[in-house]
């Protein structure tokens, strides 16, 4: 037996199979991330009424009550999926069936698909609540909405964008690197508000030069969900980091920069 044959034999089918699984998991993570990336870009166009074929104010007309019910159900589906799958108890059960390295990617994929369903099936409610006639003020409001989206993206990169959306986990798995234990840190924007990502979403959703009933419904319900999500998330963070997070919570405002926390 040659040295090459001995090396191949020593690898064995189990090791080869493990490497194949790691590579498939890596490809799956990339695919889930790409679906997320397309979804978030579409979300910007959907909310702002830019470029995309189906926006928050376009689509099939139907009676107001029916449209409200459908839209609320679509938002409820996303809220339940997004909140339940993020809880530690669900993760402990879920990872009995879904390999841990792709758990985050699967969560991101499901969230993206529920959002795409919302964009596809959303029913417009075109009655206008306000319409900013002044062109300079309208441009300022649109710019403010874009600032909100920039705040969302910037905040994810400050804490670790690729870990948040699952790529870090599948990459570590591919190269055989152990994940580092979670550490509590408050970089840059997180020194001024505890949830700059959520703040960015609120700004992006509410800064609209033309506010229709449908847009108002979307902004109001998602803002309500953000506050529910913050409560659930902070409960988990206190369980994970204890007094360290409690002190941070007392020191830093939830959403409004420089406002004293209560």
Give the pLDDT confidence score for residue 8 in this predicted structure: 42
Are 163 and 181 within 8 A, CB to CB? no
* Phi, psi for 193 (deg, rounded to 5): -140, 150
Give the pLDDT confidence score for residue 261 in this predicted structure: 59
Give the pLDDT confidence score for residue 88 in this predicted structure: 84
How many Å apart are CA 212 and CA 153, to the nearest integer?
Answer: 26
Are 96 and 23 within 8 A, CB to CB? no
pTM, two decimal places: 0.88
How many Å apart are CA 262 and CA 254, to the nearest integer?
Answer: 9
Q: Residue 178 carries which DSSP code?
A: P
How many Å apart are CA 14 and CA 78, to the nearest integer?
Answer: 39
* Phi, psi for 242 (deg, rounded to 5): 60, -135
Give the pLDDT confidence score for residue 31 in this predicted structure: 97
Give the pLDDT confidence score for residue 184 in this predicted structure: 85
How many Å apart are CA 228 and CA 246, to the nearest integer?
Answer: 18
How many Å apart are CA 260 and CA 95, to the nearest integer?
Answer: 39
| Low-confidence residues of the chain: pLDDT under 50 | 1, 3-11
Chain CA centroid to CA 25, Å: 21
Give the pLDDT confidence score for residue 238 in this predicted structure: 93
How does pLDDT run across 244-255, given as a tens digit for each residue?
999 999 999 999
* DSSP state letters, 204-221: HHH--SEEEHHHHHHHHH
Give the pLDDT confidence score for residue 260 in this predicted structure: 64
Q: How is the chain split into domains, by residue range? A: 3-251
How many Å apart are CA 70 and CA 80, to the nearest integer?
Answer: 15
Give the pLDDT confidence score for residue 4 in this predicted structure: 38
How many Å apart are CA 201 and CA 230, to the nearest integer?
Answer: 13
Give the pLDDT confidence score for residue 18 in this predicted structure: 80
Give the pLDDT confidence score for residue 13 in this predicted structure: 52
């Amino acid at each position: 037996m040659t040295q090459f044959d001995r090396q191949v034999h020593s690898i064995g089918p189990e090791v080869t199979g493990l490497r194949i699984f790691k590579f498939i998991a890596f490809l799956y993570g990339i695919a889930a991330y790409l679906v997320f990336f397309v979804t978030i870009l579409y979300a910007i166009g959907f909310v702002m009424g830019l470029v995309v074929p189906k926006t928050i104010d376009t689509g099939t007309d139907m009676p107001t009550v029916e449209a409200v019910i459908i839209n609320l159900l679509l938002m409820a589906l996303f809220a339940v999926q997004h909140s339940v799958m993020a809880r530690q108890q669900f993760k402990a059960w879920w990872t009995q069936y879904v390999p841990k390295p792709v758990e985050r990617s699967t969560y991101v994929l499901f969230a993206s698909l529920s959002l795409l369903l919302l964009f596809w099936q959303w029913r417009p409610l075109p009655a206008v609540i306000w319409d900013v006639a002044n062109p300079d003020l309208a441009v300022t409001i649109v710019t403010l909405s874009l600032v909100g989206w920039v705040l969302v993206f910037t905040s994810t990169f400050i804490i670790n964008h690729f870990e948040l959306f699952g790529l870090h986990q599948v990459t570590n798995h591919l190269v055989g690197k152990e994940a580092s234990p979670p550490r509590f840190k408050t970089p840059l924007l997180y020194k001024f508000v505890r949830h700059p990502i959520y703040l960015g979403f609120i700004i992006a959703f509410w800064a609209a030069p033309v506010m229709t009933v449908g847009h108002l419904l979307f902004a109001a319900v998602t803002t309500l969900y953000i506050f529910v999500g913050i409560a659930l998330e902070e409960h988990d963070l206190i369980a994970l980091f204890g007094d360290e997070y409690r002190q941070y919570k007392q020191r830093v405002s939830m959403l409004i920069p420089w406002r004293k926390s209560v």
